[in-house]
Amino acid sequence: MRYAFLGPAGTFAHAAARNLVASNTAPSTEPAGSAPELVPYGTVTLAIDALRADEVDGALVPLENSVEGAVPATLDELAGGSPLVIAAETFLPVVFDLLARPGTELADIATVATHPHAEAQVRRFLLTQLPRATVAMVGSTAGGAKAVSAGQYDAAVAPPVAGELYGLNSLARDIADHNGAVTRFVLLTRPRAPQARTGNDRTTLVTTLREDHAGALLEILTEFSTRGVTLTRIESRPTKGRLGQYSFSIDCDGHILDARVGDAIAALHRVCADVRYLGSYERRDGIGAGAGTGRADSDFAEAAAWLSEIRTTGRAV
């Protein structure tokens, strides 16, 4: 089994891939005892392209960060192109150091390389400690560290392990503006039958409104609300078609095999121009919501039997 990740080695995605894939928490059909191969790619798009081209069996990419929010490249790739599904998720604490070649002092730094999401999380540090430095955006934090090692930049904002890998020193440690930041990574695979329910699951999908009209978004929200399905994330992204046309990327509690979730998604299929199912998988953040009164599978089955009896005999049981 081969898994793509946002590389090079030393990125948070690399650490997440090792945690999720190498620890065998990801669904796998590989023979017992065989080690998965982790393959680095320069961007999220390239990693996902490799999966769609059958070069790898899965792709581990960032989906959202607790400080900076969603990763647009991941959302856009999942909304378009050939369908993929999320097989698993993992959460990784984010710690950044300021890395430089041995012998470099803080006063020597004129250029800093980092990823846009990392820059957003250390912006105040850079403004106060390196106000004259030029910040260059690169494809990954570890890529920035690798470029510093090659002499292309003076310093990089990257995880400490990148300094160890590329022979750099930490001039300042744990420089994030907000402590406790976490990034959520997801393992993408080609479409497959939904995995078994765990009782604490999350389902992801993308919906596109049929037409612009008053209350269109409310229609989507109502389909979930009336069935007691909790949304944990919803955000709009342009469809890349015409200006003002958006799709909605949604996470909700529950599994596609849960009656309440399946019923809500089927209802969206009736009222939306398009619904793309992106997988049901175990929720790994330690948080979960129950089905609530009247929303368990048994409640749906009992209600269906009750309605069937009325339709057949005209009498309620």
Look at 102 and 36; give whichever has higher pLDDT. 102
Least confident of 68-72, 132-136, 204-208, 253-257: 68-72
pLDDT at 72 over 60: yes
**Considering the domain boundaries, does residue 177 fall inside one?**
no
Of 79-83, 137-141, 270-274, 308-312, where does mean pLDDT reach its minimum? 308-312
Q: Name the helix (H) or strand (E) containing 236.
A: strand 231-238
CA angle, 166 as apex, 1 and 59 as ends, to 5°?
Answer: 25
Domain count, the chain: 3
Q: What is the pLDDT at residue 24? A: 53
Please give the pLDDT value at position 23. Answer: 60
3-state SS assignment for residue 136: strand
pLDDT-derived band of residue 27, with 50, 70 and 90 as boundaries? low
pLDDT of res. 285: 82
Domain-embedded: residue 178? no
The reported pLDDT for the residue numbered 289 is: 65
Q: Which of 79-88, 233-242, 245-254 has the lowest mean pLDDT?
A: 233-242
In 3D, which of 20, 8, 2 has the Cα closest to residue 183?
Answer: 20
Same domain, 7 and 109: no
Same structural domain, 13 and 75:
yes
Instruction: Kindly state whether residues 9 and 66 are assigned to the same domain.
Output: yes
Does the pLDDT value for residue 109 go beyond 70?
yes
b/e burial code for range 121-150 (CB count within 10 A of at least 16 → b): bbeebbeeebeebebeebbbbbbbbbbbbe
**Where does the pLDDT of residue 265 fall: very low under 50, low under 70, confident under 90, or very high at 90 and above?**
very high
- Residue 314 is predicted with a pLDDT of 81
Q: Does residue 293 fall inside a structural domain? A: yes
Closest residue by Cα to residue 147 from 118, 111, 181: 111
pLDDT at residue 33 greater than cutoff 60: no
Answer whether residue 126 is part of any domain: yes
> Are residues 312 and 204 part of one domain?
yes
| CATH number, residue 282 | 3.30.70.260
Q: What is the pLDDT of residues 134-183, one digit of tens each?
A: 999 998 899 999 999 999 999 999 999 999 999 999 999 999 988 888 99
Over residues 202-249, the pLDDT tens digits come to 999 999 887 766 777 888 899 999 998 999 999 998 888 777 778 899
pLDDT at 127: 95
Q: Supply the range of the domain harboring residue 160.
A: 97-172
On whether both 187 and 60 belong to a single domain, the answer is: yes
- Same structural domain, 47 and 187: yes
For residues 203 and 294, state if they share a domain.
yes
Both 46 and 188 in a single domain? yes
Q: How confident is the model at residue 290 (pLDDT cuts 50, 70, 90)?
A: low
In this structure, the answer to whether residues 109 and 141 fall within a common structural domain is yes
One domain, residues 107 and 161:
yes
Q: Does a structural domain hold residue 9?
A: yes
Question: Between 247 and 290, where is the model more confident?
Answer: 247
Residue 38 belongs to some domain of the structure: yes
pLDDT tens digit sequence for 110-120: 999 999 889 98
CA angle, residues 20, 24, 29, in degrees to nearest 5 = 120
Give the integer Cα–Cα distance in Å for 87 and 255.
Answer: 12
Do both 86 and 38 map to the same domain?
Answer: yes
- Identify the domain boundary among 116, 137, 172: 172
Domain check: are 202 and 251 in the same one? yes
* Domain CATH for 150: 3.40.190.10
User: Angle CA(119)–CA(46)–CA(231) in degrees, nearest 5?
Assistant: 65
